[in-house]
Structure 1
Amino acid sequence: MTELSGLPQGGVPAAGRLAGKVCVVTGAASGIGRAVAERFAAEGAAVVATDIDRDGLGRLADALPQAVTTVVGDVSRDDDARRMIEAAVERHGRLDVLVANAGVIPLMEITEAGADDWDRVMAVDGRGMFLTCKYAVEAMAGADGSGAAGHGGAGGAIVCVSSISGEAGQRGQAVYGPAKFVASGLTKHLAVEWASRGIRVNAVAPGTITTERVRRLQDEPGGPEYLEAIEKLHPMGRLGDPAEVAAAVLFLASDDASFVTGAVLPVDGGYLAQ
């Protein structure tokens, strides 16, 4: 279901680093995705927020100072992924930025995981990222795939949300980590493939971030011990905040990063520097 707000067609605030930009953020109902949607809106973007969580999207829309387009759907479903991108084009006439953030984060060792666990994570974190990037590239490049202004498309920016687990090995990440290697790899391949068409593709690799999912670990068996151990592995001695990841995503999505593509930017308190 696509729910359109009362914002006039193409209307966006007049100031900010993303003023006039049309941006789709997947997995926007909570965590990093919500922080990105909030920051983008504050920077003047016309935001299309997507998630499977209808209630969470409603709370996001209520919290933003200007109207937002919300799309309820599952990124792993081809029709839903296409509809998320089409909502931006139909509403605002184009797509400038995609933040491919939607994902699930199970914590398990390979002996605890089954094929169903693998398939579920790869469906969302892998297939879902592929599908949303695919339809975003098509929208940014235009119908003829030229991707240049005046040739059916004006280019754009894609930011994939990877992870430190998509750059290095971690305990308890036998299912989630490989899916984030997909995110990092897809970023690099698309960056090379579409650079000449004016489409930049980058990623962020967050460390452990205090999302709702991470905060719930405090109440789960073994959770407090896990959090204590993982915090010590970050040289800055603390976990990150979703707003800190959103700030990095903003940079990569903005014109400030006009000569940056194919990068995977750690936002991890020094974790990957070790």
Structure 2
Amino acid sequence: MRGKAAVVTGAAFGIGRATARLFAAEGAQLVLTDVDRDGLEVLREELAKTGAEIRTVVGDVSVAEDAREMIAAAVEDFGRIDTLVANAGIIPLQTVLETTPEDWDKVMAVDGRGMFLTCKYAIEEMLRSDGGGSIVCLSSISGLAGQSGQAAYGPAKFVATGLTKHLAVEWAARGIRINAVAPGTIRTERVRQLADEPGGPEYLEAIEKLHPMARLGEPEEVAAAILFLASDDASFITGAVLPVDGGYLAQ
């Protein structure tokens, strides 16, 4: 990634933060975005000590003006955008009876509309530079198979999977690759918090057993897959949805 300009959304925590750290170590010029200003600033200070070139943008991917600013920041600071990691998302765990229409709209706004907007504006800029580019979307095992208790999140991740495949076909001839990773259950901050919530420990124990490797994944393991798909090592790969799931989908 040395010398390549990359935008990572939802970078303050979890998979986004692990990806930002790995991209920085690999020499990328980074625009890091999130709605969490404090978390973003902590990460910026950490990575700045490594000598990485970083700009942060606080914004909401579901707001068109914010999404456009995230992409524009890479062009303003680095002259182009080579890579987008469309990671920002929210993960409610609710059945369809527990999910309100407002819950549905919120998840679809961030996980669906937000991914659409950031991909749209990134592709626009990649076409202007005529140098191609790479986009990695964050799908999920819930975007490839049904799961209980994810009445809004799962369908939103099917949006991520579908967007990846359609955009990959649409822009392959222009040198823009669009792929996705489909993580299993990953030990992000949100997942670790479940241990302190009613029913959380039981949920974690049950979901861990559903992964053939008998453990949850780590954010760094997903980040490594994102790095591969974003890099030139994956130059003949587009439209792929790569499971990083400890064998969950192989069953």
| TM-score (normalizing by structure 2) | 0.98
State the match for 1:19 in structure 2: 2
Find the aligned partners of 1:141 and 1:128 in 2 and give their Cα distance.
Answer: 20
For residue 70 of structure 2, the aligned residue among 74, 80, 84 is 84
Aligned length: 248
Greater fraction helix: 2
For residue 56 of structure 2, the aligned residue among 37, 50, 70 is 70
* CA deviations over 1:238-272 (Å, ceiling 9, x no partner): 00000000000000000000000000000000000
Find the aligned partners of 1:191 and 1:248 in 2 and give their Cα distance.
Answer: 18
Shift of 1:68: 1.2
For residue 119 of structure 1, the aligned residue among 105, 126, 145 is 105
State the match for 1:139 in structure 2: 125
What amino acid maps onto 1:139 in structure 2? E
State the match for 1:28 in structure 2: 11
Q: Which runs of 5+ in 2 are unaligned?
A: none
Find the aligned partners of 1:34 and 1:68 in 2 and give their Cα distance.
Answer: 13
What amino acid maps onto 1:24 in structure 2? V
Name which of structure 1's ranges 61-70 and 180-189 shifts more when overlaid on structure 2: 61-70
Find the aligned partners of 2:44 and 2:57 in 1 and give their Cα distance.
Answer: 11
| Secondary structure at 1:236 match in 2 | coil
| Secondary structure at 1:177 match in 2 | helix
For residue 203 of structure 1, the aligned residue among 180, 185, 189 is 180
For residue 56 of structure 1, the aligned residue among 33, 39, 42 is 39
* CA deviations over 1:39-89 (Å, ceiling 9, x no partner): 000000001100000000011011111241000000000000000000000
Find the aligned partners of 1:111 and 1:19 in 2 and give their Cα distance.
Answer: 48
Q: Which runs of 5+ in 1 are unaligned?
A: 1-17, 143-151
Find the aligned partners of 1:219 and 1:21 in 2 and give their Cα distance.
Answer: 40
What amino acid maps onto 2:93 in structure 1? L
Does residue 249 of structure 1 match 2:211?
no
State the match for 1:41 in structure 2: 24
State the match for 1:108 in structure 2: 94
What amino acid maps onto 1:269 in structure 2? G
State the match for 1:128 in structure 2: 114
State the match for 1:235 in structure 2: 212
For residue 156 of structure 1, the aligned residue among 133, 143, 149 is 133
Shift of 1:126: 0.2
Identity within the alignment, %: 74
RMSD: 0.5
For residue 143 of structure 2, the aligned residue among 156, 162, 166 is 166
Runs of 4+ in structure 1 over 6 Å off = none
Shift of 1:101: 0.2
* CA deviations over 1:149-171 (Å, ceiling 9, x no partner): xxx42010000000000000001
For residue 157 of structure 2, the aligned residue among 154, 161, 180 is 180
State the match for 2:192 in structure 1: 215
| Secondary structure at 2:90 match in 1 | coil
| Secondary structure at 2:146 match in 1 | coil
* CA deviations over 1:192-222 (Å, ceiling 9, x no partner): 0000000000000000000000000000000
